[in-house]
Every structure is written in structure tokens, then in C-alpha cells.
Amino acid sequence: MIKDQDYLKKIADICLSKSKKLGSTDASILVQSSVSENINVRNKKLDGSERSENLGVVLTTYLGKKKSSIASSNLKESNLNELVDRCIETMKITPEDEYNSLPDKDLHFSGLKDLDLYDETHLSNEDKINYIKEAEDEAFSNNKIVNTNGSGFGENKSNFLLANSNGFSDGYKTSQFTAYCEVVSKSNGSMERDYEYTSKRFYNDILKPKELGSIAADHAVKKLNPKKIKSEKISLIFDKRISKNFLSIFASAISSSAIAKGTTFLKDKLNQKVFNTEININDRGDIKKANGSRYFDSEGIGIINLDLIKNGILQDYLIDTYNGKKINRKSNGRASGTTNLYFENGSKTFSELIKSEKKLLYIKETIGHGTNIINGDYSVGASGIMIENGEFSYPVSEITIAGNLNNIFQNITLADDLEFNYSTNSPTMHVEGMIVGGK
């Protein structure tokens, strides 16, 4: 069972009062408890079960502008006392940093907690196994699916308390239900794997097992017997599971830490046109039941909604207290990053998008870590499907796609098929003129 707020509060109080006693001027603490249960099935047979109970505490103490942190999973009082001692000792000899401080009291979250982030539904292991077996059964009903890499179902419940010496003390429970199915297809000596994944706060919102299995199978079969194409400049269509990655890249490029250090290609671009005028990007933390929703960030600052890009123009950064001070801005509650980040729908339908040019390459998977936030260079491995005259024609693999994000962002056209499946979501995306490396 996850621990209740009273238990978490007791731990927080021990640490906060001990830090104060030892001379810290300020302190903040996070106490967490979570329980997760996962079931793995492979080839329709139980492969494994995993149950984890996690406890943890993270304490940060301040002495004026000096700061130090400790973290521990051992919440015995004797251990906590020892660690607070250590934290204080380290803090005293750490150099001052003028930007260190607790967050602005005025920005502390205070309000209703009505976002529905916790589903107390508990599935027995039997139910979990049945769900995931049904998904695999469905995948195997496709005769080109010969094997699975494993499929799984997970249920996670957690509770936390965040408190600081300025009087903030709040926390809440969240839940997450996750299922994935990863299958292997085979035909004419070609072997490919692909997957489908669903994760929601409420059990009733996740994909039904049959859908999960059939989508995974369909993905894996469509990859069979790929061709390698010649190097060329070609427009790409990014499947929704890939197009959302550009939002994550965008988010890291406008984090106040990167902006303050100058280590991003979007430095000094505030109020400038970063995308074309049809693009709007929002970050909303207040969508009911959504994966990315939260009441406050890891500093206790209330989440406000941000229109990050309006008609292509960069409106805001993602700001926390420390880095905000460096750039003379108040925190906008993004110390834990974005919440529900998404592109607004474009004006074209999916079918209009794939018919917009005679020849397009549809990207379904990228591999590698080829994004350079500092200068915007982008180069990753990829696989996908060639589209000729608006029809999907043959799978393509072992290619690379490359460009610079400054150009890529200006050349995006979006479809109107946005769905809120993850915390970061994008419609299908068309990017004009990227370089494909192949034969």
C-alpha cells in the first residue's frame, strides 16, 4: 500500500525541524511513496511479475545562498538524522550562489485539487495477465506475427508530499495504468519488431487489449521486407508517435536553464518567428485526467497555462526559480518541465497531407540521439514507408534523416488529427525538404 499524507508529513517534519535545529536558514523536502505492479507475458505465456514498493526523501537545505541536497530510500529516523547532519555539513562548505533560494511565496499553489489524477481501481495479477494475453492473442491472429519480444501491463500508484520552510506543504496521489505489446513479424527472411503502447491515469481510458494487439501487429507487418533508398532531398511525413518528439526537443531548447547558459539554438528568439505562422504550441497543466496534468511543480509553484508559440512566434520560456533569477523572470511553474504540451491542430486532413506531394517518405521510427540543442543540428537513423501518389507503397529502412531544427521548425505543416494519448502530443506532421542518407 502507498503511504498516506500523515506518514509523509511525519517524515517531512523530522527532516525540516532537524535542519532548522542544525542552523539551516531554509529547507525544502519531497517525500514520496509508490507501489507498482507489472506483469510480463511472452508468446501468450506468463514471463514474469514484478512488484515494487518505493519510498524516498529528497532534502535541500540552505544557509543564506549556500545549498546542498541529500536523497535516501531509507526512512528510518536514525538514518534520516545522519543524512541531515551530512547535508548541513556539506552545505556549510559549498560556495555561495547568489541565485539560490526557495521559490517566491506568492507563487505557491493554493487552490482546488479537482483534476482527477487518481484512479483507485486495482487489478489483480490475474486480470492483468488476462488483459495482456488478450492483446497478444489478437496480435498472433495476424499470420505474419511469429514471436513476441514481450508484452506487459503495469499499474502504478503514488503519493507525495512537498514542503518547505516558507510554509508550503501539499501533496496528492496519482495513478498510471500502462500496457504495451511488442511483436516480431517474419516473412521471406526479413524479421522486424514493432509495438503499440498505451498509458493513462484511469484504467478505463487505456486502449482495449484487442486494439493494442492489432495495432502492434499491423505496425510490425508493415515494416517487413524493407528497401534502402538512395540519398536524396525529400519531404517527410512524421507519424504522430515521432512528431511529438519535436515538441520535446523544442521544450528542452526553451528551458530557462539552457536559455540562461546560452546553450540553445533558441536563445534570444523571444517574440521572434520560430515556426511558420500557422503553428501554435500550448502547455496546459489543467486538463482533467491527462497524463501531464499537475497542480504545482517540484518547487510548489502553481501551474499556469502557457501559449508558448502563437502564430509561429515564441511567447515564453519554461522557467523555474533558480534559472528565472538568472534571466530576470519569475517562475512560471516549470521546474519539473512541461505538463501537457501539444501542437494545436493544423488545417489539413491526414489524407490531404499525404497527397500533398507526389513522393513523400512516412517516418514511423527514429533511432539514435542525434539532436544537438546547442546549434539545432538534427541527424537520426530512421525507418518508414514510401508514399507514392498518396498511397503507401513499400517499407524503407537503414536510412538517416538530417537537417537543422531552425529550418525544420519553419517548414512544418500539421494535420488535424491531434489526440491526447501521452503528456506530449502532436498531430501528424509534414516537413518539407529534409536530407535522407541512404545508398
Partner 1 sequence: MTSLLKNSELSIEKADKIVSETLNSCDDGELYVEDTKSETIVLDDNKIKSSNYTSDLGYGFRAVTGDTVAYSHSNEISEKSLKNSSDNLKSTLKNNSGTYNSEIKKTNQKLYKDIDPIESKSMKSKIELLNNMNEYARSKDSSVKQVTASLLAEKKNIEIIRSGGELLSDNRPLVRINMSVMVEKNGRKETGVYGIGGRQDYDEYLKNDNWKKVCDEAFRIANTNIESKPSPAGEMKVVLGPGWPAILIHEAVGHGLEGDFNRKKTSAFHDLVGKKVASKGVTIIDDGTIDNRRGSLNIDDEGTPTERTVLIEDGILKNFMQDRLNARLMNTKSTGNGRRESYKHVVMPRMRNTIMLGGTNTQEEMIKSVDKGIFAVSFGGGQVDITSGKFVFNCTEAYEIINGKVGAPIKGATLIGDGPSSLKEILMVGNDMMLDPGIGTCGKAGQGVPVGVGQPSLLINNMTVGGTQL
Task: Point out which span in 70-78, 271-279, 301-309, 355-363 binds partner 1 (CB under 8 A).
Answer: 70-78
Q: Which of 167, 204, 268, 369 binds partner 1 (CB under 8 A)?
A: 369
Q: Residue 54 or 141: which CB sits closer to partner 1?
A: 54
Cβ atoms 425, 419 nearer than 8 A? yes
Q: Is 26 helix (H, G, I), strand (E, B) or coil?
A: strand
Q: Which of 306, 302, 334, 339 is nearest to 319 (CA)?
A: 334
Q: Residue 23 or 48: which CB sits closer to partner 1?
A: 48
Q: Which of 274, 361, 399, 431 binds partner 1 (CB under 8 A)?
A: 399
Interior angle at CA 175, CA 174 and CA 180, nearest 5? 145
What's the min distance (Å) between Cβ of 421 and partner 1?
A: 20
What's the min distance (Å) between Cβ of 85 and partner 1?
A: 11
What's the min distance (Å) between Cβ of 405 and partner 1?
A: 11
Extended beta strands in 253-370, E state: 281-284, 306-310, 313-314, 340-343, 359-367
Task: Give yes or no for residue 46 binding partner 1 (CB under 8 A).
Answer: yes
Task: Point out which span in 15-23, 227-235, 272-280, 345-353 binds partner 1 (CB under 8 A).
Answer: 227-235
Give the pairing type, strands 173-187 and 232-238.
unpaired
Q: Residue 138 or 182: which CB sits closer to partner 1?
A: 182
Task: Give yes or no for residue 381 binding partner 1 (CB under 8 A).
Answer: yes
Cβ atoms 48, 90 nearer than 8 A? no
Strand partners, 283: 306, 341
Q: Is 382 helix (H, G, I), strand (E, B) or coil?
A: strand
Tell me how far apart the alpha carbons of residues 76 and 292 are, in angstroms, rounded to a whole number: 32
Q: Which of 69, 110, 271, 347 binds partner 1 (CB under 8 A)?
A: 69
Q: Is 183 helix (H, G, I), strand (E, B) or coil?
A: strand
Q: Which of residues 173-202 bind partner 1 (CB under 8 A)?
A: 184, 191-193
Task: Point out which span in 71-79, 101-109, 302-310, 353-361 binds partner 1 (CB under 8 A).
Answer: 71-79
CA 382 to chain centroid: 21
Task: Point out which span in 201-209, 239-247, 329-337, 378-386 binds partner 1 (CB under 8 A).
Answer: 378-386
- List alpha helices for 309-385, DSSP H: 321-326, 350-354
Task: Give yes or no for residue 50 binding partner 1 (CB under 8 A).
Answer: yes
Q: Which of 341, 342, 365, 357 is nearest to 239 (CA)?
A: 365
What's the min distance (Å) between Cβ of 230 and partner 1?
A: 8
Count the residues of the shown chain that bind partner 1, applying the rule CB under 8 A.
Answer: 77
Task: Point out which span in 276-284, 350-358, 364-372, 410-418 binds partner 1 (CB under 8 A).
Answer: 364-372
Q: Residue 35 or 304: which CB sits closer to partner 1?
A: 35
Task: Point out which span in 114-122, 146-154, 306-314, 348-356 binds partner 1 (CB under 8 A).
Answer: 146-154
- Residues 74-113, one symbol each (x = binds partner 1 by CB under 8 A, - = not), give xx---x---x--xx--x--xxx-x-x--------------
Strand partners, 156: 36, 176
Task: Point out which span in 10-18, 208-216, 351-359, 363-371 binds partner 1 (CB under 8 A).
Answer: 363-371
Task: Give yes or no for residue 252 binding partner 1 (CB under 8 A).
Answer: no
Task: Give yes or no for residue 401 binding partner 1 (CB under 8 A).
Answer: yes
DSSP letters spanning 94-147? SPP-TT--PPPGGGB--S---S---------HHHHHHHHHHHHHHHHTSTTEEE
Q: Residue 78 or 204: which CB sits closer to partner 1?
A: 78
Dihedral sign from CA coordinates of 95, 98, 103, 106: positive
Q: Which of 178, 336, 372, 410 binds partner 1 (CB under 8 A)?
A: 372
Tell me how far apart the alpha carbons of residues 261 and 264 are, in angstroms, rounded to a whole number: 8
Task: Give yes or no for residue 232 binding partner 1 (CB under 8 A).
Answer: yes
Task: Give yes or no for residue 289 binding partner 1 (CB under 8 A).
Answer: no
Q: Residue 193 or 273: which CB sits closer to partner 1?
A: 193
Q: Which helix (H) or strand (E) holds 177?
A: strand 173-187
Interior angle at CA 253, CA 380 and CA 241, nearest 5? 45
Q: Which of residues 312-351 bind partner 1 (CB under 8 A)?
A: 326
Cβ atoms 182, 149 nearer than 8 A? yes
Tell me how far apart the alpha carbons of residues 241 and 139 are, in angstroms, rounded to a whole number: 20
What's the min distance (Å) between Cβ of 152 and partner 1?
A: 10
Task: Give yes or no for residue 14 binding partner 1 (CB under 8 A).
Answer: no
Tell me how far apart the alpha carbons of residues 145 and 193 are, in angstroms, rounded to a whole number: 9
